Amino acid sequence: MATQFIDDQKGRFSNQLNAGVAFPIEAVPGLSLTAEYRFMDDFENPEMNVQVTNTRTGSTRPQTAVVSNRNQSVLLGLRYAFGATPVVAPAAAPVAAAKTYLVFFDWNKADLTDRARQIIGEAATARGTGVTRIEVNGFTDRSGSDQYNQGLSVRRANAVAAELVRRGVPRNEIMTRGFGEANPLVPTADGVREPQNRRVEIILK
């Protein structure tokens, strides 16, 4: 039977690697699921001096023991941060709805009435509230030929655009188009003189 006595004071350097990740649990503010990996190893396996004594004979002999210290571990856990406040996503900025102004015309005319100029003035004033583009779209009723009505709708749109410019709206902000008989407010048969279809739409965007 033998006994061992270890007496060694030599030191050794060792290295250690820690890596971890955390996954927040959105349903519970401040709570996270964590995973951690740890690796530890000596630069070299240390040798330790050991005295082995035979208890029967009382003889003692020295012996060298090689100690290996290398281990790996994976830890899973939950972490809670006290006082954490829920993250509130910023509200999306509301998109301003386009404003539309209607200017009506007499039959077969592209001249502006006093009421038409008043409506155009209101549109020009409203331009200062974040408007970046103004569409001026001309239309006719279904009396007259398609070709004639196309030209008439363009003249009506140009007349409204000119009044907007006169009231201080830059011309490069205005886009004019003529649609002729297309897109009537009031659907009618061909040849019908419908007052609400003889119009220009001013759309502020």
- CATH code of the domain in which 193 resides: 3.30.1330.60
Specify the pLDDT at position 203. Answer: 94
- Output Rg (C-alpha) for the chain, integer angstroms: 44
pLDDT at res. 48: 61
- Write out 54-109 in H/E/C secondary structure: ECCCCCEEEEEEECCCEEEEEEEEEEECCCCCCCCCCCCCCCCCCEEEEEECCCCC
Contact 64, 46 (CB under 8 A): no
Question: Within a domain: residue 36?
Answer: yes
139-153 residue pLDDT tens: 999 999 999 999 999
More confident residue, 184 or 43: 184
Same domain, 104 and 200: yes
Calculate mean pLDDT across residues 158-170: 95
**106 and 66 within one domain:** no
126 in the same domain as 68: no
Query: What band does 51 get if pLDDT is binned at 50, 70 and 90?
Result: low
At residue 44, the pLDDT reads 60
pLDDT of residue 2: 52
Whole-angstrom distance, CA of residue 154 vs CA of residue 200: 10
| Same-domain pairing of 17 and 68 | yes
Mean per-residue pLDDT of the chain: 81
| 145 belongs to a structural domain | yes
Say what the pLDDT of residue 75 is: 75
**Domain span holding position 43:** 2-80
Please state the pTM of the whole predicted model.
Answer: 0.55
- In tens, the pLDDT along 62-110 reads 766 565 666 777 777 777 777 666 666 666 555 556 789 999 999 999 9
Predicted local distance difference test score (pLDDT) of residue 184: 95
Measuring CA to CA, how many Å separate 163 from each of 105, 118, 132, 156, 166? 14, 10, 18, 11, 5
Pick 189 or 31 by higher pLDDT. 189
Tokens at 75, concatenated: 């830890």
> Does 11 share its domain with 39?
yes
Q: How far apart are CA 156 and CA 198, in angstroms?
A: 9
- Alpha-carbon gap, residue 76 to 81, rounded angstroms: 17
What is the number of other CB atoms lying within 10 angstroms of the CB of residue 182?
13
Residues 141 and 104 grouped into a single domain: yes
**Is the pLDDT at 127 greater than 70, yes or no?**
yes
Helix crossing, 114-126 with 146-166: angle to 10°? 60
The total of other beta-carbon atoms located within 10 Å of residue 11's CB is 7
Sign of CA dihedral 172, 177, 183, 184: positive
Report the 3 state secondary structure along 192-204: CCCHHHCEEEEEE
What confidence score (pLDDT) does residue 33 get?
Answer: 78
Say yes or no to pLDDT of 118 above 70.
Answer: yes
Q: 199 and 135 in one domain?
A: yes
Percentage of the chain beyond pLDDT 70 is 70
154 domain residue, yes or no: yes
Counted domains in the chain: 2
pLDDT tens digits for range 32-49: 778 787 766 665 655 666
**Neighbouring residues of 57: CB distance < 8 A, sequence distance ≥ 6:** none
pLDDT value at residue 3: 57
Using the 3D structure, point to which of 50, 80, 110 is the last residue of a domain: 80
Same domain, yes or no: 72 and 161 = no
